Structure 1
């Protein structure tokens, strides 16, 4: 089965920059002028929730309301996805690499490598709330829920679990060649982040003019404009805008001190590992409600 180790996972918790990374890679790696718009990204990458692969794996139209059924069909669907292109190719996933019902959700037999895109949980919470069409407290409940699952109407599930466990499981997966990208670093210096990814991890030569064009074509404003003009088929039902703010630091306007304190408390070890620069600012902010109460 080693010949099916073709999938390079583009993995993330939802609303962490996966769509941006996919469009950037498409604009850089595809021939000039052929990169797809945001609604045709499957021309470049596929995703692990594609119903056509589940139908083919099952031999009939796939439909269930049981996660156990999904787990049984998923390995065969992923083998078909891996075999769908002759060489290494990118596949989007929001799943955590764990075992469910004794089955690997990210099977080593189809996996070549992974790019993990993460976003700090303070900015993630309001964005995830929009994605889930819920209030921020409910979004934080879901980010801290060890059994958090999303699913399509046909019952193709995405097992997320807690945000911190999502980060941890991808970063400790045995024998997995992994490259981590922080969304905040992408915002600050996308060219530097992409050069490191392309050259050091994917072992691709750097074409500076093409990279500059790709960065310009996939700026947040450009993607936002595409959504306004064409819509976005991956946007969940009920969500008004998929590309809403795309900034770092929005948590200061969007979250209450109590919400900041709760996220800090829930995810402190992961924050210490991946976002040490945010610890002091969020600590002071989360304590400001106590100061206000006392005054």
Structure 2
């Protein structure tokens, strides 16, 4: 029952944008999917209702294990919930915690993995979780990094680089990797590549419409008019900037140095142009005397 196509990413890396695009492109003509209707085309492995269904009553956890042990059952439930493939958003890392597979191979058909450079992620992750940037960076560097809901449904994220390594090297996994920076620079090319991976015919007119319907300005407009149910309660808005490289106006040299050092190997492999920008930023702030 390999039906799940994972939409996987470390938080604040472009997952919502990708889901919005798929919602627009895969919908019948004249039936556009708004940002508050993304659940009609994708679901989420950490949703409250799946946990409620898994135990037959409202789920309220007390420990990590309470949520963790339900993951295999929930993934099997999602895979069996409708015929054909099912897009499922996840922020979980790839791997095991104790005896639990965080991502079940038996229900997995493929994965779309979206990554974003850690400098921009740190700023957005801090804002989204109501943290200082220093605290956000500390969590991104923590192998035990967890996100949780009010009812203690946990996402096991781990380190930013561990997250990328797990999803991009998992053996036997059919995967398509996207970089947020490429999505911003050339969304047409980026999403054409995604459709090709999914073996979905590319209709130029439909592609133009979907790119326009899911532009950052359009997503912001929808949120201003009707709100966004995925927005954290403390946040003024979910769609704040959307640009790549905004970290240069937000981070200190010490913060850039920490991320550059912690994630050196993964940065150099996947974000060589950002490495050059980070090194130039550090050199500018610390000129040789």
Query: Normalization by structure 2: what TM-score?
Result: 0.97
Shift of 1:59: 2.3
Q: Is the counterpart of residue 77 in structure 1 residue 74 in structure 2?
A: yes
One of 272, 275, 283 as aligned partner of 1:276: 272
Give a deviation string over 1:45-80, Cα, whole Å, max 9, x none.
111122222222212222112111212111111111
Shift of 1:194: 1.1
**Residue in structure 1 matched with residue 256 of structure 2 by the alignment:** 260
Contact 1:119 1:183 in 2 (8 A): yes
Contact 1:258 1:289 in 2 (8 A): no
SS of the aligned residue for 1:90 comes to strand
Task: After TM superposition, list the pairs within 5 Å mapping 1:122-201 onto structure 2.
Answer: 122-199=119-196, 201=197
Shift of 1:101: 2.0
Give a deviation string over 1:76-110, Cα, whole Å, max 9, x none.
11111111120012000000011012110000011
Shift of 1:287: 2.9
**Residue in structure 1 matched with residue 40 of structure 2 by the alignment:** 43
Contact 1:71 1:101 in 2 (8 A): no
**Residue in structure 2 matched with residue 95 of structure 1 by the alignment:** 92
Shift of 1:236: 1.7
Distance 1:282 1:87 in 2: 44
Shift of 1:233: 0.9
**Residue in structure 2 matched with residue 34 of structure 1 by the alignment:** 31
Tell me how large the CA RMSD over aligned residues is.
Answer: 1.2
Distance 1:276 1:191 in 2: 22
Give a deviation string over 1:104-150, Cα, whole Å, max 9, x none.
00000111000001111111111111111111111111111111101
- Which ranges of 4 or more aligned residues in structure 1 deviate by more than 2 Å? 287-292
Task: After TM superposition, list the pairs within 5 Å mapping 1:199-278 onto structure 2.
Answer: 199=196, 201-278=197-274
Give a deviation string over 1:23-64, Cα, whole Å, max 9, x none.
101110110222321111111111112222222221222211
Where structure 2 has 5 or more consecutive residues not aligned to the other structure, the ranges are none
Contact 2:27 2:33 in 1 (8 A): no
SS of the aligned residue for 1:32 comes to coil
One of 106, 114, 133 as aligned partner of 1:117: 114
Equivalenced residue count is: 289
SS of the aligned residue for 2:30 comes to coil
Distance 1:121 1:86 in 2: 37
Give a deviation string over 1:211-266, Cα, whole Å, max 9, x none.
10000000000001111111111112212221001001111111111111111001
Distance 1:218 1:208 in 2: 15
Contact 1:38 1:232 in 2 (8 A): yes
Where structure 1 has 5 or more consecutive residues not aligned to the other structure, the ranges are none
Distance 2:41 2:102 in 1: 23
